[in-house]
């Protein structure tokens, strides 16, 4: 009976160790996923700003080429600052 109890305790200890290692690996993966999501959350608005900036430049360029609006000297730089925050 005692040998059975000791074997049972050994198995419980082994399972506990495996569960702790598994939990640690899950937490590590969770942190990596969180970092990836944070990076994507930063990239998406920046990319949207660049796309919006390029669309605005295309519109102004099209108008300027058709002489529907006056020459917008320096507008490209202002738009870039406004939509991307770049200096």
Instruction: Please state whether 67 falls in left (phi above 0), alpha (psi between -120 and 50) or beta.
Output: left
- Percentage of the chain exceeding pLDDT 90: 37
Residue 36 has pLDDT above 80, yes or no: yes
- Cα–Cα distance for residue pair 69/26, rounded to 1 Å: 59
Selected residue with higher pLDDT from 44 and 62: 44
Query: What's the pTM?
Result: 0.49
Output the six-digit token pair for 50. 């660049």
Cβ(56)–Cβ(83) below 8 Å: yes
Domain count, the chain: 1
**Residue linked to tokens 């198995």:** 11
The whole domain housing 34 covers 2-84
**Is a pLDDT exceeding 60 seen at residue 66?**
no
- Tokens 């598994």 locate to 22
């Amino acid at each position: 009976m005692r040998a059975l109890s000791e074997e049972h305790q050994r198995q419980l200890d082994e399972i506990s160790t495996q569960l702790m290692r598994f939990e640690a690996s899950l937490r590590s993966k969770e942190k990596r996923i969180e970092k990836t999501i944070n990076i994507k959350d930063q990239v998406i608005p920046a990319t949207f700003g660049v796309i919006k900036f390029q669309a605005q430049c295309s519109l102004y360029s099209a108008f300027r080429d058709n002489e529907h609006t006056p020459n917008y000297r320096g507008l490209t730089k202002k738009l870039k600052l406004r939509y991307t925050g770049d200096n």
